[in-house]
Each structure stands twice: as C-alpha cells, then as structure tokens.
A = this chain, B = another copy of it.
Amino acid sequence: MAVYKAPLDDMRFVLNDVFAAEQVWASMPATAEVTRDLADAVLEEAGKMVEGVMLPINRSGDEEGCQWQDGEVTAPAGFKQAFRTMAENGWTALSGNPQYGGQGMPKMLAVLFEEMMHSANTSLALYSLLSNGASLCLDAHATEELKQTYLPNIYAGEWSGTMCLTEPHSGTDLGIIRTKAEPNGDGSFAISGTKIFITGGEHDLVSNIVHLVLAKLPGAPSGSKGISLFLVPKFFVNEDGSLGERNGVACGSIEHKMGIKGSATCVMNFDSAKGWLVGEENQGLACMFTMMNYERVSIGLQGLGLGETSYQSAVEYARERLQGRSATGVQNPNGNADPIIVHGDVRRMLMNMRALNEAGRALSAYLGMQLDLAKYSEDDAQRAAAEDRVALLTPVAKAFFTDRGLDNCITGQQVFGGHGFIREWGMEQLVRDARIAQIYEGTNGIQALDLAGRKVTRNQGKSVQAFLSEVRLWLEQEGDNAVLASVRAELDAALALLAEATGTLMDQAGRDPNAVNALAVEYLDIFGYVTYAWLWARMMVAADGRGDSFGANKQVVGRYFFERLLPRAQSLLTQMKAGSATMMELDADQF
C-alpha cells in the first residue's frame, strides 16, 4: 500500500519562512484572526484527519468503486462514514463564508489541506471539493434567499454540490450546449437536458445534492454569451428547511473509468427539473469564472498531492528493497544486497519528484495568497495586482501541477519495479487517479491556450511583465544573499528565457493565427519551470538561516532543481521557435 504522512514541516516552512503568511493575514480584516498558531493547529489536525480517516479507505475505495442501481449511487464502503466525520469536524466548512456557517479560512491555508486530501484519498476529496466550488459560486452570485437556504447545509456537509457543464457533444466548447431553461412563470425555471461527467452528481454521502447547471433560456444569444446558470436541487427544500419532494433530475448511469473509481462520475438527466437562476440571465459563464480559478488550483493540487504520496511511498520502498550493490562499494555488508536508494538512477527519480513537489507546494501557497489578496485586500492596487497574478498563474498551476504530478506518479511507480504494476502495492492507483487531473476542469491544452492567448498575447504581455517585476523586486531585496548568489546566474538566465519565450510567442501570434495554439503547451511548461526556479531561490534563501538539517536539505534539493530540471526549459524554447507551419501542413486526411 502507498504510504503518506502529511508533510507538515514543509507546509509550515512555506507558510512561515517563505511567505510570512501571518503578516499577510494580519493585513486584511477578513483574515486578521488567522494566526500562525491557528494555522499550525489546522494543519496538524488536518494531517491527523486525512491520515486516520481518508487514507485507510483509499485502496478499498478503488477496488470497490461506485455502484449504480435504479438511479441510486452507492459510494464505496466507508466513504459515507468518513464524509460524516469530516463534516462533523468542520472540514467541509473550512473556507466557507462565516456569514452562512463557514470558517472563513484563507485559501492560502486551504490549498495545503486540499493537497493533503488528494494525497490521502482523491476520490473522497472530490465530493468535498465540488461542494466548495458550488458554494463559492452561490456565495458570489445567488440571491440572499438561495444562499440562506443552501450554503449552511453545504458547509455543514449535510448536502453537497455539483457543477453541471459538459454535455455529450459539448465539453471544451460550452457555447454549443443544448440544455434548456423555460420560465415557469413563478420565478423558477424548468430545466431539461443531459449532462455528462458530473462528479458527485448522485451518491449516498449526503441527504441532498445541489446542482449548478448551465442552460440556455429561450431566445438566448447563440454561443457562450447565451448561457445562464441555475440552481437545481435533488430534493426541494420546504419552508421550514426540511426536505420535500424529489425534483425532476436523475442519474442515468455512472461512468466506468481508469481511476478515481470511488468518485461517482454521473450522467444526469434533467426532465423539466425546477431550478432557480443564479446571477444574471446569460451571464452563466461569468458566474462560473468566479470559482474557476479556485477550482483549477484545487484540481492542480490533485496532481501535486498524488505526486507527494508517490514520492513518500517510493522513498520508503527504496530504503527497504535490497537489490544490487552501490557503485561506490558495499553499503550494507550484513545483507546480500544494498538498499536501492544507493543507486544513482533511483536517486535521480526520488530527487526529481521531491524537487517538483516542493516547488509546487510553494507555488500553490503563493497562488492561494494571491487569491486571498484578490478577494479580501482593502487596497485597490494590491487587489488588482493579485487578480492579475491569479489570472496569469492559475492555468500554469493547474496544468503544470498535474502534468508533473502524473510524471511523479509514474516515476514513483518505476522505483517499485515489477511491484509498481501490481494493484496491491497501490502505486498504479496513483497513476490512474492522477491521470484525470490533466483532462478535467479544462484540459491542460486549454489551460495553455488560456495562458498563451488570453493571459499573454491578448494582454500584450503586461501580466507577464508585472510578474517579472515582482521577481526582480525580490531579487533586489535579497541582492547580497550568498545562497541566492550561488544560483543567481541560472535564475537570471531562466528569467531571460521566459522573456524571450514571451517575445517569441507574441511575435509569432502577430503574424500567424495558429501560433498561439501551436506554441501554448511549450510556453506553459517554460513558465512552470521558470516560476519554480524563482520559488526554489526563495526557498533556498528562506531556509538559509535555519541552521538545521531541514534547511540544509532545502539547499541540496534546490541546487538539484537548477542543475537537473530547470534546463528542460532550453529545449522547449527551441521547439517554440519552430512555429506552427510544419505542424499545420498536412491535410486532415493525410494523417
């Protein structure tokens, strides 16, 4: 079985040493009560919960999967009880609005909890995370009446939420959805249509499920400007708050998937189901965008969290498995072989995973901080800057966390040799579970297009410039630091490379309509490696004064990143320079 302990030391390091989170929180009324001690206690308890409640039913949940019968869906054994325990201890309310029963914890802290949940049991985590997304959206756009009716119950984990976007013919391209909403004349709407790939669309963990559904009103403009958002409960809610009759929404079937088998992925049929408008008419996509950045970071964390479990499990195996002898001579004279952690190639795999995971954790906290600043800061300029940073880095985080997360799951599995392929060992489940994160919540290709198109090209590179200014400001502030000096040349070269890649992208985009789409994935990967380089420099500087083995190890892993992972950006830039011509040259029938 895969092993996992919440990496609390590293999480505390990121919050306290790297980003001085307490000062950030103290600067905003909404988070002023969050102290270092409180955050520490939350992380400590979160670690106990995920290790004690979620992790033990991760393998069994994969083996058992979800069961569909006559429209009812049963989650794997133990999931219902575990979700109740999570709810009763407040974990489903962690970052909810306190006005409706949430705990109002900052996203900067929540990202670390979400990473832990994905590490321990990503299928079970999804029931909670989808509810978070739905409640974020309701909190921002629903009427006061809807909020009072639904939010407290979702935060309490009594009810859960879904996002119903995709239809059989319409995934990435939401402009062509067919689900209809007809006014009932009483302020409600009759929703009809079929939605697919609905995570948690039906299950037995809670007593009611609140669907947020994209649909088209009669006479709505075509395309993405004619989409509205509706709240459609599974059971109606009586005036006294008790549950009433069943609404006209039913689960037609569940998908048989490669992984996340404990998460119910549903086909949902809406047959004149009664729904209520959330936000303005035809503004459904805009409402979705409110929570999209949060959700994309959360799904990014699925890759990061699973990669961490893969790393920890591979380390344990590499320390215990005896096979071959060290190239430098016998290390384990009492055994007939040395532990495989002595071998360079095994080290390479472990160091790759670790260097990527620790940088990813830092980026997730940084991005959580920016989301908090964008939402809670009372300084207009700071809020605008944070919004800009969130817009730029969210697609990077979602795609880069999940691409590198799959890499790390595959790498950890490889450390196990043949045992990595055997189900009982748990490593292959990590690969299967991680794979979806590159696909849903906007495929990673779409994230790259969002970055290279909307966030860079159409933004005339201003957001990139602002980000690079922040990096340069930090470099000035830390100018004399000896640790920074040791990687300064590589970091400067990396920043120059990102600037050149941005120039290449914008230049080609100005001449070639296919360029953005053709260069986007390489550009996003460059962005990821260069951002990680900056964060590694920050971590090395932050760890420099500690004088402990944790700090010393950070220097080693950081240097490894600069030596062995950052160079990947070089090739990506060369690839970008090739442009789109050859890629687009063949006719479709020549493939």
Contact = CB atoms under 8 A, between A and B. Distances in A.
Given A418-B440, A443-B417, A571 B582 contact: no
Interface string A318-348: 1100111001100000001101011111111
Interface in A62-86: none
A153 interface: no
B590 A549 contact: yes
Interface in A562-591: 563-565, 567-572, 574-575, 578, 580, 582-586, 588-591
A563 B582 contact: yes
Contact of A517 (B343, B515, B584): B343
A342 B588 CA distance: 8
A583 B564 CA distance: 9
Given A517-B344, A560-B582, A173 B421 contact: no
B432 A344 contact: no
A575 B583 contact: no
A103 to B, nearest CB: 33
Nearest to A520: B345
A418 B166 contact: yes
A347 B323 CA distance: 43
B583 A323 contact: no
A281 to B, nearest CB: 22
A255 interface: yes
A256 interface: yes
Contacts of A520: 344-345
Given A324-B172, A448-B345, A591 B350 contact: yes
Interface stretch (A21-29, A49-57, A126-134, A423-431): A423-431
A348 B525 CA distance: 15
B327 A516 contact: yes
B315 A591 contact: yes
Contacts of A351: 582-583, 586
Nearest to A345: B445
Given A514-B328, A568-B571, A323 B584 contact: no
A458 interface: no
B582 A559 contact: yes
A259 B347 CA distance: 27
A389 interface: no
A416 to B, nearest CB: 9
A577 B443 CA distance: 35
Contacts of A423: 256-258
Contact of A344 (B176, B514, B590): B514
Specify which of A196, A328, A435 lies most central, judged by the most chain B CB atoms within 10 Å of its CB.
A435
A16 interface: no
Contact of A556 (B516, B574, B585): B585
A571 B570 CA distance: 6
Interface in A534-575: 549, 553, 556-557, 559-560, 563-565, 567-572, 574-575
A216 interface: no
Specify how many copies of this chain sit in the oligomer.
2
A567 B575 contact: yes
Interface in A504-535: 513-521
A583 B344 contact: yes
A322 to B, nearest CB: 7
Nearest to A260: B421
Contacts of A438: 414
Contacts of A564: 575, 578, 582-583
Contacts of A431: 258, 435
B319 A588 contact: yes
Contacts of A108: none
A172 to B, nearest CB: 5
A344 B516 contact: yes
A347 B339 CA distance: 44
A171 interface: yes
Nearest to A561: B582
26 contacts: A169-B322, A172-B323, A172-B417, A255-B422, A258-B431, A319-B588, A327-B517, A341-B588, A344-B518, A345-B445, A345-B520, A345-B521, A347-B583, A347-B584, A348-B521, A351-B586, A413-B435, A414-B438, A414-B439, A421-B435, A421-B436, A431-B435, A553-B586, A563-B575, A563-B582, A568-B575
Interface of A: 166, 169-173, 176, 196-197, 255-259, 315, 318-319, 322-324, 327-328, 336-337, 339, 341-351, 354, 406, 410, 413-414, 417-418, 420-424, 428, 431-432, 435-436, 438-440, 443-445, 448-449, 513-521, 549, 553, 556-557, 559-560, 563-565, 567-572, 574-575, 578, 580, 582-586, 588-591
Q: Which are the 6 A-B pairs with shortest beta-carbon distances?
A: A344-B517, A344-B518, A563-B578, A258-B428, A567-B574, A571-B571
Given A327-B513, A327-B514, A345-B445, 14 more contacts: A171-B417, A173-B322, A258-B422, A319-B589, A327-B516, A342-B588, A347-B584, A553-B590, A556-B582, A556-B586, A565-B575, A570-B570, A570-B571, A571-B571
